[in-house]
Chains A and B, each alone.
Chain A
């Protein structure tokens, strides 16, 4: 299996409902399915919830896992588990999968942008780089792709500074930055590192990295096809980052924590996300990028199968980790597959439970990284990338070739 070059992680922050996504239960009671339906897909026998009509048209491009399972019901601990494959505690804060993969892949990556880019905000629940520290820190873009100008602070230069004006400014800076410590002192080493970082930064500032974020270089048709929504335009940027070669791109999609008025929230979020991801997968496929890019989507957990109709929830769902759904596509994963069967209300796995470490382990494996190998770090920590896989094992049934 040829290792994937890039990963696009679509993180459904807050925990999306498995029942209104990839594990619909149309035959269950209204207290579980809200009276909503499932729809067929272009893959015989594979059904999605009715709020994912565009994904249903290209189900051959991705696979779903209906039996993700763990035991953490709090956002921050579950997020940590789903991002690191480890239970919280034990005196360590481990790096998230994005920090690890980008650190391994940066050796073969030639681009000017950092190897780990987050669109557009951090998860915020824990430090995603863990003990790897600031050198592994992602570029967090900020800004809004779905606006007239996607301003990425630091990368996209401010308007009104011409290349000539910029050069004049750098010349003046060189003359004014006069503090120069005596040679071979500790301060001299500090000053040298500062100047070195400055040279690197200037090279990036004067290079063409900023063009990656310039959506005006895309046609109106392409922009419209993703949907003029935050998630749509953000995924278009993600595709441009894959083309540029960035090894790990995280798209954080907040707003799935639907304790109250779940169905209103879920319908709106699903329809936007459905169009955006379906277009993204098709676009990636047509550009020949999907085979070399792992795309995965999940949240930290799913949602309580039984709907809380009473006040104050008014049709809400709570946190639920025992059984929830995830999606994988591209980069060595087969499409059109369904892994695992849950019970009649999506409350527990009936067959093939998938643990967070086995799920993440499969992604590492598709990237050509041995999940049982040492976790690369300069902190002197002797630790494997993931804990040993469970008895059920990694998602080998989804690999296009045996790894």
Chain B
């Protein structure tokens, strides 16, 4: 097996030091300034469209759920290929990172969590997550996937799709009607009209769930006539346009925020095709300063992964519930955590959704004082910023880390590329070098690059440009 692929799958593409680039002096950044026209700003071209750096970061964040590495950012920015956006989009859409990240989003709206109030329990969480991830990875049409969910029966441990009927806090025909309306028609329970609810519930009256003698194993079955096929015909044939519009609205909302409506001509049922169309559209290329492209806060999981990847640290997750204890494989990206009940103080603080209702706005999109306080003042972040400024002296193969041979200005550039996918603007560079010289950097032996670089890393992690996908 290709080791790199394995690592990708497990790390979710997060760059640990194990993949630290050795070729720091190599092309394309060789010998000073790159050969490209000056830009109006670091974020927007004179015509109001996003710069290449912003676009690279956008594509990686939206499609792969992570920030690009230094090499990935430079490869995109310095590429002269006129079709580079398309090339990168296709590459990312085919990646494991894409499957991991978008599985997370669909698990949010399908309420994949072990505990209260959904109570899927661990075994079912893992099989259901795997099934949802397969839907994303294999680009299965949304209606075909929906049909497998709605007509499923069997054990929650083995028949993954049957968990659709378990992943709701009301396991009754009315509760399922609400889940169906919310998932496939985009109608939240509060706006669901009683008549439609009753119509949907009528198809689900014979669905039953029973226990087995296995701990937390349950069987979803139908007693009497199974009318769920008729429900699927209603949704995916008669109301097909509504389902397609709701699907389009859901996906576009993840990209363009709460004001996004459905596409002009919805009908696409394949996630990858829809996303490809979105990221290659002129709308997606707008700048975020004057161009009106909506910025959004990084997902808590993505932010966590970004800080961990930059600093070469990782998180270990486990479930505190004593029956049974759950330990996840170490050093996995947070985006890959299957179970909404397995969480951390960081994730709660930064607005990871509880997956109680499955509504998109369950995810906290605000930036709060508590969040900023954590990034300003936390000892953990302080240590991680130190790890960004001063990575290990030796690479995993034992050779010296070439970063330490770079002159100070190049190390500033390196941190900018890694954190923001761009080089510093002349003003930013001048400002930082000014402080360096004022402190006597390069002359006084006790003035270490590390201290100022750590401050730079601390500053960048606290910028809007880092916290938002702009």
Contacts and interface: CB of A to CB of B under 8 A. Distances in A.
Interface stretch (A88-96, A291-299, A357-365): A88-96
Given A125-B321, A134-B351, A187-B288, A176 B379 contact: no
Contacts of B364: 133-134
A124 interface: yes
Interface string B352-373: 0010110000001011111111
B128 interface: no
Contacts, number: 180
Interface string B449-465: 00000011011101111
B39 interface: no
B115 A197 contact: no
A121 B320 CA distance: 11
Contacts of A176: 428, 431, 456, 459-460, 463
B116 A125 contact: yes
Chain A contact residues (Cβ within 8 angstroms of B): what range?
Answer: 35 or more
B: interface residue count bin:
35 or more
A93 B294 CA distance: 31
Interface in A155-201: 155-159, 161, 168-169, 172-173, 175-182, 185-187, 190-191, 193-194, 197-198, 200-201
Nearest to A88: B117
Contact of A114 (B351, B370, B459, B465): B370
B368 A197 contact: yes
A133 B365 CA distance: 11
Given A140-B348, A153-B378, A193-B367, A182 B463 contact: no
Given A173-B462, A187-B294, A198 B115 contact: no
Given A179-B289, A200-B369, A137 B374 contact: no
Contact of B345 (A142, A193, A201): A142
A194 B467 contact: yes
B115 A178 contact: no
Given A134-B351, A179-B289, A193-B367, A169 B455 contact: yes
Interface in B372-423: 372-374, 376-380, 382-383
B117 A201 contact: no
A201 B348 contact: no
Nearest to A118: B345
B463 A154 contact: no
A380 B382 CA distance: 40
A286 interface: no
A135 interface: yes
Given A76-B116, A154-B378, A194 B464 contact: yes
Nearest to A176: B459
A58 to B, nearest CB: 33
A251 B42 CA distance: 48
A155 B377 contact: yes
Given A169-B455, A172-B435, A187-B288, A179 B368 contact: no
Contacts of B425: 178
Contacts of A137: 348-349, 368, 370
Given A125-B115, A127-B354, A133-B364, A186 B373 contact: no
Interface in B280-299: 288-290, 292-295
Nearest to B297: A190
Contact of B367 (A168, A177, A197): A197
A30 interface: no
Nearest to B369: A200
Nearest to B451: A165
Q: Which of B345, B351, B354, B463 has the most CB of A within 10 A?
A: B345
A127 B117 CA distance: 9
Contacts of B343: 124
B189 interface: yes
Contacts of A134: 351, 364, 366, 368
Interface string A226-241: 0000000000000000
A122 interface: yes
A129 to B, nearest CB: 9
B189 A201 contact: no
B213 interface: no
A122 B345 contact: yes
A91 B170 contact: yes
Contacts of B178: 91
Interface in B100-125: 115-117, 119
Interface string A80-115: 100000001111010000000000000000000010
Nearest to A191: B464
Given A158-B378, A176-B459, A77 B370 contact: no
Contacts of A121: 320
B170 to A, nearest CB: 6
B279 interface: no
B236 interface: no
Nearest to B380: A153
Nearest to A169: B455
Contacts of A124: 320-321, 343
A175 B343 CA distance: 35
Nearest to B175: A91
B369 A135 contact: no
B463 A179 contact: yes
Please give me the 9 A-B residue pairs with the lowest Cβ-Cβ distance, nearest first.
A200-B369, A158-B382, A201-B372, A76-B116, A134-B364, A201-B373, A154-B374, A153-B378, A158-B379
21 contacts: A76-B115, A91-B169, A122-B345, A134-B366, A134-B368, A139-B370, A140-B345, A154-B376, A156-B377, A177-B465, A178-B463, A181-B290, A182-B290, A186-B294, A187-B289, A187-B293, A193-B367, A197-B372, A200-B369, A201-B372, A201-B373
Interface of B: 42-43, 115-117, 119, 169-170, 175, 178, 189, 257, 259, 288-290, 292-295, 320-322, 343, 345, 348-349, 351, 354, 356-357, 364, 366-374, 376-380, 382-383, 425, 428, 431-432, 435, 455-456, 458-460, 462-465, 467-468, 470
Given A133-B364, A186-B292, A201-B376, 6 more contacts: A154-B370, A157-B379, A172-B435, A182-B290, A201-B369, A202-B376
